[in-house]
A and B are shown apart, each in its own frame.
Chain A
Amino acid sequence: MLTKRVIPCLDVRQGRVTKGVKFKNNIDLGDPVEMAVAYSDGGADELVFYDITASAEHRPIDIGMVKEVAAAIHIPFAVGGGISSIEDMERVILAGAEKVSVNSLAIKQPKIISDGAAVFGRQCIVLGMDPVRNPECPSGYEITTQGFRVRTDIDALEWARRAVELGAGEIVVNSVDADGTREGFEMTITRLIAEAVPVPVVASGGAGKPEHLVRVFQEAHVDAAIVAGMIHTGDYTITQIKQVMQEAGIPTRMSY
């Protein structure tokens, strides 16, 4: 049986993993490669790295770090946050990442999704989206960009459907309302998208305890869930999360 994936997310700034709430108060959490190895050994089914940058001023992706991660772990990982062209995608994938994630860029240039899918296969192209509640949109949720700062007037559900038509192989739904709260995943738009698109959907934002993952898998029917703060702080291990999932009857990979 295909298991539900638990995916730690590592925000990397200037070579260090950091954690901030709504892009503020960044706290240094450690070395990305060391943390990747620890999470891989500890039961992560996949990893995602966001905003891997080499310096604060310029924002090219730190390809050296992607290579170091690829050499150190042997589970899939995605890179997102600093992709600005098909050439960036190629560098990241050739450096050993399984997938690239595009978000704001895809809103400005939807063609990056179809171009990327044509070159690398749709399984490599992840669409990240940051929906926020807006009753005036048909689905009740609007897409934001630039780290929640810019509203777009684009309906979240429409955008998910369109991205899959363009060639996105997976969609990460990162709720603006839930992000950083550790009070549970956003359930409404996450479920709407998971049930509407034929590709896997990943819930992101708001995980604070194992029961939150159980709920999003059982009620929003997602294929994977992203965790960050709850494991970075040491409050829970991945194994603790997975034990709770397994006890709830969710297919979970327990041997690693």
Chain B
Amino acid sequence: MSYTAIIDYGAGNCTSVASAFAALGGETRVTRDAKVILAADRVVFPGVGAAKSAMDNLERMGLVDVVREAATNGRPFLGICLGMQILLEHSEEDGGVELLKILPGKVRRFPDVPGFKIPEIGWNQVNGGTEYYFVHSYYAELGPYTTGTTEYAGVTFTSRVQKGSLLATQFHPEKSGKAGLALLKEFLAC
């Protein structure tokens, strides 16, 4: 049976992601089992919280190579928020964290700018158009695979990135109302 695996590696809860896919009629399995992840038709890599603890969790659960394979094996893969950042090379968070290096680019902290709160919380535009829901203190620099950009605190950052079958978003499509569900529906149709 066709299903979407949602990787549960202890970085935030997967309930909202599963419930958004359920609303679209998609079968999901929330799992940390390598076999279930690699046999899935498509994989979602969510995440909130800190990069270092997320990387530690992935290593402790033996999922580093599993995520790498799922993100590059040609089947649809979706990274969300911290799940996008972890695909990059390096993050400034927690004094510096080496990431998975599946995509080029670095993750930096928003500068302290008067009038801009950190974390950025709320609905912001992607490519000057549709708004999606963001919650983050760190951002990914623009890179060769950036397909969506967003502005905050004087920075233009990567809010959407695509490399072949790998799609990743800084915003939370599962919390972005109809616009978010439309994106997830496209992902399900891949």
Contact = CB atoms under 8 A, between A and B. Distances in A.
Interface stretch (B57-65, B83-91, B97-105, B173-181): B173-181
B48 A96 contact: no
Nearest to A98: B175
Interface stretch (A1-9, A147-155, A176-184): A1-9
A199 B119 contact: yes
How many interface residues does chain B have, given as a range?
Answer: 35 or more
Contact of A96 (B13, B115, B130): B13
Contacts of B177: 40, 74-75, 256
B31 interface: no
B175 A255 contact: no
Interface string B21-49: 01100000000000000000000000011
A70 B130 contact: no
B15 A123 contact: no
Contacts of B131: 3, 253, 255
A86 interface: no
B16 interface: yes
Interface stretch (B68-76, B121-129, B139-147, B160-168): B121-129
Contact of B16 (A5, A45, A98, A121): A98
Interface residues of A, number: 34
A199 B15 contact: no
B124 A3 contact: yes
A234 B131 CA distance: 26
Interface in A117-164: 120-124
Interface of B: 12-13, 15-16, 19-20, 22-23, 48-50, 112, 115, 117-125, 130-131, 133-135, 151-152, 172, 174-181
> Considering the complex of A and B, which 9 residue pairs feature the smallest CB-CB distances, nearest first?
A96-B15, A121-B49, A2-B124, A253-B123, A200-B117, A253-B131, A3-B123, A123-B135, A76-B175
28 contacts: A1-B151, A2-B122, A2-B123, A3-B122, A3-B124, A3-B131, A70-B15, A70-B19, A74-B23, A74-B175, A76-B175, A98-B175, A120-B12, A121-B48, A121-B49, A123-B48, A169-B119, A170-B121, A198-B118, A199-B117, A200-B121, A200-B122, A221-B115, A223-B117, A223-B121, A255-B131, A255-B179, A256-B179
